[in-house]
Amino acid sequence: MKLHEYQSKRLFAKYGIPIPKGDVASTAAEAVTVAAKIDGNVVVKAQVLVGGRGKAGGVKIAEDKAAAGTCAEKILGMEISGLPVRKVLIDEAVDIDTEIYLGITNDRIAKCPVIMASAAGGIDIEEVAVDAPEKIVKEHIHPFLGLKNYQTRNMAVAIKLPERLWKQFDDICQSLHNVYTTSDATLAEINPLVVTKVGDLLAVDGKMVLDENALDRQGDLEQLRDSDLETVEENEARRHGLSYVALDGDIGCMVNGAGLAMGTMDIIKHFGGEPANFLDIGGGASAEKVAAALRIILKDGRVKVLLINIFGGITRCDEVAKGVVYAIDEVGVDVPMVVRLVGTNEKEGRELLSSAKLSTASSLADAAKKAIALAA
């Protein structure tokens, strides 16, 4: 789950990272009110969950208070990478001396978090990472020992930070590491962390990505989800505890278990078909959950056929069959369905379905071939 810049920075501030004074606004009038509370000039920034806002014109420095309103109006009418801008952040404008990149993420190969810093921070960091990776310095963080002062000092030296800022830099790195671990984040990034003309460090931009699987224990952070930006189907799938990813094909898939769902997609591809989605109904799915899954798949107008592949273990085949029959009655399924059921209560499941006149398949290969033929 991605957080907006303003949400990330507010969270950073709670952990002691210095951020500019500011607030969000949804209208030009609100932007003027926020700007009036700030001394000096303000910067108006689009709050959308993609990077590169600066380059897209979504970050503007307002010459005076009235200009804050016109800047906000312009930015609120924009779309950045296809996402509409619904909110802007009005921040105290900062006189920037230099821009540093600072970020923490998981290094899956090293099996621990890694902190990265670069003196070439700002809007071109992606190019730096590709063209001059040596300009980004890294320190791996031991999961038990944490981030050590000598490590942040190594980075400070490498990015040629003036010595008087080493202590501040260490404090910010430690805070960033704290917010990263306690929020179950997979990314915590400040780009740019600026050295102001006054000579202090300040987090001008902020980005956080939280681990979806840990949100259950992050109660107050879950509230920050911007469900505007999820598709209706993704939103509904999450409410029912289903894992759903829409794809481009025309064969709707309902499967129990992520591995089996991947296998089902592979076999569809193998026989020349295209799956319309990945959907894992999980273990022990009830009839209602199955019905919800069917509703989500069928909302996608491109779906020409439905392939249901269930391996009955904890999930009982007859429960799934009940859900399918229930959904056919309730939702009115108007595409052909191919069902493959094996395992616990398979016979009962088949009986329920045969009375509902669905085509059942004997093997996964058979099911995939039938579905592809029906979609053609």
Q: Among 31-39, 94-102, 263-271, 368-376, which window interacts with ligand GDP (CB under 6 A)?
A: 94-102
Q: How many CB atoms lie within 10 A of CB 14?
A: 11
Q: How many CB atoms lie within 10 A of CB 63?
A: 13
Contact 68, 31 (CB under 8 A): yes
Q: Which of 51, 282, 313, 336 binds ligand GDP (CB under 6 A)?
A: 51
Residue 6 CB, nearest distance to ligand GDP (Å)? 11
Residue 54 CB, nearest distance to ligand GDP (Å)? 3
State yes or no: is 189 an active-site residue: yes
189 makes contact with Mn ion (CB under 5 A): no
Residue 376 CB, nearest distance to ligand GDP (Å)? 45
Residue 55 CB, nearest distance to Mn ion (Å)? 10
> Taking Cα atoms as reference points, which of 294, 340, 290, 297 lies closest to residue 315?
290
CB neighbour list of residue 137: distance below 8 Å, 6 or more residues apart:
116, 117, 118, 154, 155, 158, 159
Closer to Mn ion by Cβ: residue 174 or 191? 191
205 makes contact with Mn ion (CB under 5 A): yes
> Which one of Mn ion, ligand GDP, none interacts with residue 93, CB within 5 to 8 A by kind?
ligand GDP
> Taking Cα atoms as reference points, which of 360, 332, 333 lies closest to residue 348?
360
> Which one of ligand GDP, Mn ion, none interacts with residue 52, CB within 5 to 8 A by kind?
ligand GDP
> Which one of ligand GDP, Mn ion, none interacts with residue 94, CB within 5 to 8 A by kind?
ligand GDP
Tokens linked to 322: 């009940």
Q: Which of 49, 114, 123, 356 binds ligand GDP (CB under 6 A)?
A: 123
Residue 367 CB, nearest distance to Mn ion (Å)? 48
Tokens linked to 199: 């000579």
Number of residues that bind ligand GDP (CB under 6 A): 18
From the candidates 6, 101, 180, 244, give the one annotated as an active-site residue.
Answer: 101
State yes or no: is 101 an active-site residue: yes
> Among all residues, whose Cβ is closest to Mn ion?
205
Q: Which of 4, 9, 53, 240 binds ligand GDP (CB under 6 A)?
A: 53
Please provide the distance, in angstroms rounded to a whole number, between the alpha carbons at the two ends of the chain. 37
> Which one of ligand GDP, Mn ion, none interacts with residue 59, CB within 5 to 8 A by kind?
ligand GDP
Q: Which of 71, 75, 88, 93 binds ligand GDP (CB under 6 A)?
A: 93
Residues lying near ligand GDP in the complex (CB under 6 A)? 43, 45, 51-54, 59, 61, 93-94, 96, 99, 122-123, 191-192, 204-205
**What residues are annotated to the active site?**
101, 189
Residues lying near Mn ion in the complex (CB under 5 A)? 191, 205
